[in-house]
Homo-oligomer: A and B are copies of this chain.
Amino acid sequence: MSSTTAWTSRVDVDPEQACPIAPVVDIVFSRWTTPILWALHEYGRQRFVELERRLVTITPKVLTQRLRQLERDGLVVRTYHPEVPPRVEYEISDLGRSLAPLFATLAEWSTANLGKVDEARLDYDAREGSRTRRR
């Protein structure tokens, strides 16, 4: 249990702030960020169009948005070459690379437990199916 004193101040905090990993989840696991970081980590520095082609269904607008956000957060470095035609290259930063062990842990959990999630879903759907249908 929490301390008996000043417990209201603890309850009043923002819902997601009550969870200490909420901020980093926002930064690292918002939509498209992991595929982008993965692509940059796997295939190294590359141009806008290469990323666009790799993340097949992403639109240039959204790709720009996410890259700007990642650049602002210091996870990605953007380099502009003032040539004709213009050339822009993106690469993962040291800070971005520091996420590698985290992603590795995630991948490990994935290979170890994703199957259990699938089983759980089958179980649940079977139970729900028989319950709603009233066999």
Interface of A is mostly: helix
Please state if A105 and B116 are interface contacts (CB–CB under 8 Å): no
Residues of chain B lying within 8 A (CB to CB) of residue A43 = 1
Within 8 A of B (CB), among A6-63: 11-16, 18-25, 27, 29, 34-35, 38-39, 43, 53-58
Task: A56 to B15: give the CA distance in the assembly, Å.
Answer: 5
Interface size, chain A (Cβ < 8 Å): 55
Tell me the complex Cα distance, A35–B14, Å: 11
B18 near A55 with CB under 8 A, answer yes
* Contact present for A55 and B15 (CB under 8 Å): yes
Contact between A56 and B12 (Cβ–Cβ < 8 Å)? yes
